[in-house]
Structures are given as C-alpha cells and as structure tokens.
Chains A and B, each alone.
Chain A
Amino acid sequence: MAEEVVLMKGNEAIAHAAIRYGVDGYFGYPITPQSEVLETLAEQKPWETTGMVVVQAESELAAINMVYGGAGTGKMVMTSSSSPGVSLKQEGISYLAGAELPCLIVNVMRGGPGLGTIQPSQADYFQTVKGGGHGDYRLIALAPASVQEMADFVGLAFDLAFKYRNPAILLADGVIGQMMEKVVLPEQRKRLTDEEVIARCPWAANGKTAGRKPNIITSLELDPAIMEQRNNHLQKKYAEIEANEVRYEEINCEDAEYLMVAFGSCARIAQKAMELARAEGIKVGLLRPITIWPFPSKAIAERAKQVKGILTVELNAGQMIEDVRLAVECKVPTEHFGRLGGIVPDPDEVVSALKEKLVK
C-alpha cells in the first residue's frame, strides 16, 4: 500500500500520531497555541476505535496528575499544553520523574513570562532542560522542527520514555504547532493488552497477582540514606541516556567557517538564513539539536574546532547558548541572536545578526 501523505498542522499531527501509536490516554486542558491537539482528538473520537481515553480535565494540575495515575499503571499516557499551562504542571512532572514513570508531555511554547502572548517562543528551554520542577531530575526532551517530526517524535518519545522509565517531553512552539505541512502518519497500531502492559512494566501498579510483591509507585522517601540511593540511581540512568540518546542534524557543516546552532522552528529559519548567507559567500553551517536533553555537546565541541565563531538562534533572550558555551568551553566566540515575547525573526534578520556579531 502506498503511504498516505496528508496536509495538516503540527498540533493535529500530534493527535493523529498518538491515536495511531496506540496511546492509552490523553489528559489535557485547552490553551493556545496547542488547542488543536485536544480538538483533533475530540473530532477523531479514538475511544470508539482504539479505546484510547481522552479527557478534558478541569485544570492543568488535574491533567498532569491523571497522567501520573495512568502512567503508574504502565499505560501509555500523555498530556499537552503551552507555556503557562506547562508551568502549572511542573509539580506533577517532578513527581513523575521521581517515581520514574514513563509518559509524554507536549509543550507548544508561547511568549512569556507570565500569561505572556499566544505567539511562538522558545523561552521554556531552561524550564525544560534545567529543571522546571524541583529536585535533581531530567526529562528526555525532543525538539521537532517540522510537522513530520511532530508526528514521528510522539512514538520516539514514548519508546524512550518506556526504555528508561522516564518522562519525555516534546518541546515545540507556535510555529511548528500552527503551520501545515505534508506528513506521513505512522501505521495504526493496536493498543497493548493488559497482559502486554504487565509484561512490559513489571513495576506498574496494575493489580497484584498472587505471589508477587506489591508494586509501590511513589516519589516520597523519608529516609535520606535511601533517598540518596534513589538519586544516585536516577543519575546513573541519566548518564546512560546521555551516552546513548543524543540526536542532532548537521547541515552544510563540512566546510563551515561559522556555525549556527538552533532547534525547532528557529532551525528552519536559520537554515534559510544559511542559504542566503552562503549565496553571499559566507561559509556557515547549521547544527540542529534534536534532543535538547541529552544535549549534543560533543558534536558541537567537535565542530567548534573548525569554526571561527558560533551563533545560537533562539526565540528567547539566550538560553541554549549557555549549553553551547559549556560544550565549547568558551574556546570559540559564541554569540546569541533572538527575538522575544512572541516575535519570530525572519531569515534576513538572522543573516544580519550573523554578520554583525561574528563575520564583521
């Protein structure tokens, strides 16, 4: 059968991909610019086909705690929101990380801080990769740059989440959520049966069978000695993820004298800027982190050896640049260009910044 190519928004692609990947439950609360995720699920009525549960919760807090409950049973569950809504979910996200529960959180970022704007932003980078909630924890963070990746990363995020028993987050923004592009959706999979869930998640609280010790899902531990052990276990797991799961894309880096680093929508804008700059004879390449945690530090450090300067392009005041500077240990001049509060730069602005800050 020829694969079906469809045209849809990034937000819609997330909803369709979730149904097709056999996700068991979605719990969300509407907020622009990601409301189409919930709307599409409501239109598609997957509860009538795959049996997937879709709940519009009474709040973001309720939604993330429904995710906690569902994930505790070993089911594939997810939520989505946008910046202010994701801030509300942070307590639950920290608990999910502490209890080592696999799940998917989608953040289609908008301008902040506070209630901010509804236009695209990438100002939740720190929140996503440096904590957000309390405690020493990490989220597996994927940054899609196309509608196709919005669809593909739903499955990838769940695979990684279950592989490592860790929450995964898909960090998109209003550009990727609202734009329409061609997309090939994954084949429809069956949801796992209860037996398959038990086999995949022997740790899950899904009904004790005779002879098995009770499974306890909690992030609470009053004995600090045990809590330290738990933290050490988490850190070991994070190191393993850092060793195995870094993903990035390099475009025109082989002969690059300058390097741009950008993720998500900014990577697309930077790619066009790269085309324009190259047409003027500026040899610039683009490195696009696909996982923003684990961060492609080694790849950036490697490229830094050949370039005269690095420009990060972000829809924020300079967040990812901190990780880039750590990666290159400040051996190469590293500058930042960004627009704030929901303004998206056009490729010309990026070219100008490149010239002004690096090429000179």
Chain B
Amino acid sequence: MKQEIIIAGFGGQGVLSMGKILAYSGLMENKEVTWMPAYGPEQRGGTANVTVIVSDDRISSPILSQYDTAIILNQPSLAKFENKVKPGGILIYDGYGIIEPPTRQDIQVYRIDAMDEATERGMAKTFNMIVLGGLLKLRPVVEIESVLKALRKTLPERHHKLIPMNEQAIRIGMEIIKKV
C-alpha cells in the first residue's frame, strides 16, 4: 500500500495540521510516512499545501509530480493541482472554497461541504477533521482508531476533551462526502 496525497488550501484552514494528523496516524500503524510542506511567504494568506505519503515500504521522494489523491480547499489550489492527479485518482474539494469545479473526466471527483457543515454545527475548528473523514471514507489510508490514538499522543492533556468532537467531525465527513 502506498498513498501519495496532496492537501492544498488557504493558510489557516488547517491544511498542514490535517496532513500532520494523517502522517501521525500512519506512524501509529507503523507505516512509513513523509510530510513535506510548501513553506514560505506564500503561507501568509496565500495558498498552503502539504504532501503526505503513507506507505508500507521505504519512501523515496517526498516531492512528487503526480498524486493518488488531491484534497483541494480553495480555487487557486484547484488550478495548481487538478492536472496533477493521476488518471483514475481521486480529487476531493470543499464546495465553499470552489466556485468553478474541476472539469477532468479521467479522475473521480468528490465534493465535501465541510466548511458549511462545520459553520452550521458550530464546529468551525474541526473543519479539517471533517475533510479528513471524507478522505478516510474513500481511501482508508489509516484506521479511525489510529487517528484518535495520534490525537491522544500529540495533543496536550488539557485538550483531550476535544477528541470526541474530532471523532464526530471525522464521522460527519464520512457521511457528507458525495460523488460529483
């Protein structure tokens, strides 16, 4: 098993931390992982993206030309990454941030209205976990239990009370993602 994933959106949407949670969850399952952020001034209000690779075997390049799965949370990122999804691969986008949806026919496109759902439910802070739930529905890269384990391990104790809300967010994401 090897999954090569790009997560891209605006800085502040939780793009990097979502990738980090995914990578950590892979670690919990003793998989090989790399987390490679595009770092720099572009993160301040511009686009932020991170490449996450989860694999059973040693990972060569942390930088990729094409991805199995792209999670796209804003329009500029769609322009940048739509053509970098492998044929037959998956593109997930958030309906709130994308006005002009993807047009490729040779990939599987899914929409997740995570931002709307998070706002409606007053769960704005778990927006990225809703998106992660959508990903895990389509690509069970890691078990939900591993995500929760990763959260328990990385969050300071005082924040552990937020873990159930994060679990709920993942399950919401799994429900609301839909094929376009």
Contacts and interface: CB of A to CB of B under 8 A. Distances in A.
A346 B60 contact: no
22 contacts: A7-B33, A7-B35, A117-B40, A119-B40, A174-B39, A175-B62, A178-B39, A179-B35, A179-B36, A180-B20, A180-B35, A180-B36, A181-B33, A181-B62, A182-B32, A182-B33, A268-B60, A268-B62, A269-B63, A271-B61, A346-B65, A347-B65
A201 interface: no
B74 interface: no
Interface of B: 20, 23-24, 27, 30, 32-37, 39-41, 59-66
A357 interface: no
Contact of A7 (B27, B36, B39, B59): B27
Nearest to A6: B27
A45 to B, nearest CB: 17
B39 A272 contact: no
A272 B60 CA distance: 5
Contacts of B61: 268-269, 271-273, 346-347
Interface string A159-185: 000000000000000110011111000
A178 B41 CA distance: 14
A181 B63 contact: no
Given A5-B30, A178-B39, A344-B63, 11 more contacts: A6-B27, A33-B39, A181-B34, A181-B59, A182-B32, A265-B62, A268-B61, A269-B60, A345-B63, A346-B61, A347-B64
A33 B39 CA distance: 9
Given A7-B24, A180-B23, A175 B36 contact: yes
A179 B59 CA distance: 13
A5 B27 contact: yes
A79 B23 CA distance: 30
Contacts of A271: 60-61
